Structure 1
């Protein structure tokens, strides 16, 4: 996407792009806002953010059951990531130092490791496809974020200004083949995401994912040591089982792009 789109010109014109055959409506204002957000995140040397997520899990007996997690995300450079999570999935962490991804369950004092020497984005994609491991709001960190949305979207609309908490935000909504989605992007110098809601319409269950992103820190000084894992006393090492070696399940990133 062209990251030099003049946002304020587009906000004044409110232009649309579409195809008559499929009535595909793509609002260039929405595209410009998402482009600005994606460009900012792509230029960060490091960042941290707190993510409060609520999501549905399908129960054959009870239908959709709501769960929640609170996660702290720390990203440094192209190949370091730390995620600390507390919630219905337990208290756990993911450490990636550029050479291996380590999963640690504080509740069970167990850890497992996957050797990898790639960038953070490729690491998240690889372990999601092979092991079914999801990372909070991972799609925002993909350089192809906007292109992925546009490749799948039937419509993408800028709805105007609204508030998330006390912060003014751009409100964007869209529809894809198997989901609807909404983004709230902060109206400040950085255009960082404040909230996301996704409704998965495939199968008629309408599972929902909702997350708020708070306390963004831009280019903080994050020491390399926090991304490395040292096993606590008496911790036991476990094998992380790939999806192909267990009962199959459908896997996708938590987001609106390609599966």
Structure 2
């Protein structure tokens, strides 16, 4: 089976960024898709919308997020299957997170307390722990580079970086129009990169958080997609035990092996 790739470069920014210092601005009214396409393949307002979103996310030192999504898996004969999954995030910057991914075919829990990263599998009752750097930014880099661990929807972490994340990779960008996601008014934008198309719905008003994401892999003729809606809580109640891992009764520790060993 061939699975749509996770974009390793969309929640990594919200974990990584330091609080934004730039003042939030409302920006100009979005242009129409036709006008953007006629003048420039990259609509400046679409890029500015990403930067406003990033500036807002960068001010959030703690948050909870629920991502309800579906991911396509393509069989060798080209048939496309869809699997559902829910990921929940509890984040305390700069040095704590708990990310739980529950899917139709795999469950994983990632716990980081500022000192250790724990990867656990509730279905199989195994867990592995490794020493981790003192910040989320460094820990994510170690997880990916040393152990090949890619956390769910990691591009979201980059989106709270001051430059909007992924902006340098954008080849085309346009404003699609207004839409309502889960009762929240949003603006719908579409972006194209070398091998990937992605769409994002950003809440209007003073809290421009992303509310829906669609990612399309153009390297596969079947164009598999990842689709998710996002529900945010920017006033979470965390305590000292939120980011502490406690092994369930009967769970067995295993070794997390570094790549190239």
- Asked whether the two chains share a fold, i.e. TM above 0.5, the reply is yes
Q: 1:180 is matched with which residue?
A: 197
Structure 1 window deviating more from structure 2 (116-125 vs 161-170): it is 116-125
Which is bigger in relative contact order (C-alpha 8 A, separation at least 6)? 2
Tell me, in whole angstroms, the C-alpha distance in 2 between the residues paired with 1:186 and 1:236: 43
RMSD across aligned positions (CA): 2.9
2:186 aligned residue (169, 176, 179): 169
Superposition pairs of residues 88-127 of structure 1, within 5 angstroms: 88-127=104-143
Tell me, in whole angstroms, the C-alpha distance in 2 between the residues paired with 1:56 and 1:244: 30
TM-score (norm 2): 0.80
Q: 1:12 to 1:73 in 2, by over 3 A?
A: closer
Tell me, in whole angstroms, the C-alpha distance in 2 between the residues paired with 1:244 and 1:63: 34
1:155 aligned residue (146, 154, 172): 172
Q: 1:51 is matched with which residue?
A: 67
Q: 2:26 is matched with which residue?
A: 7
1:232 aligned residue (223, 228, 248): 248
Q: 1:27 to 1:43 in 2, by over 3 A?
A: same
Tell me, in whole angstroms, the C-alpha distance in 2 between the residues paired with 1:178 and 1:42: 27
C-alpha deviation, 1:133, in angstroms: 2.4
Deviations 1:31-67 (A, max 9, x none): 2221111111111110001111211234335643322
Q: 2:46 is matched with which residue?
A: 30
The answer on whether the counterparts of 1:169 and 1:184 sit within 8 Å (CA) in structure 2 is yes
C-alpha deviation, 1:243, in angstroms: 4.3
Tell me, in whole angstroms, the C-alpha distance in 2 between the residues paired with 1:123 and 1:33: 29
Question: What SS is found at the alignment partner of 1:67?
Answer: strand
Question: What SS is found at the alignment partner of 1:141?
Answer: helix
Tell me, in whole angstroms, the C-alpha distance in 2 between the residues paired with 1:242 and 1:135: 16
Q: 1:56 to 1:244 in 2, by over 3 A?
A: farther
Question: What SS is found at the alignment partner of 1:226?
Answer: coil
Tell me, in whole angstroms, the C-alpha distance in 2 between the residues paired with 1:206 and 1:145: 31
Tell me, in whole angstroms, the C-alpha distance in 2 between the residues paired with 1:172 and 1:12: 10
Q: Which has the higher helix share?
A: 1
C-alpha deviation, 1:236, in angstroms: 0.6
Q: 1:218 to 1:6 in 2, by over 3 A?
A: closer
- Give unmatched runs, 5+ long, in structure 2: 1-19
Q: Which has the higher strand share?
A: 1
C-alpha deviation, 1:3, in angstroms: 5.0
Question: What SS is found at the alignment partner of 1:204?
Answer: coil
C-alpha deviation, 1:147, in angstroms: 5.0
C-alpha deviation, 1:146, in angstroms: 4.5
Structure 1 window deviating more from structure 2 (74-83 vs 62-71): it is 62-71
The answer on whether the counterparts of 2:198 and 2:215 sit within 8 Å (CA) in structure 1 is yes
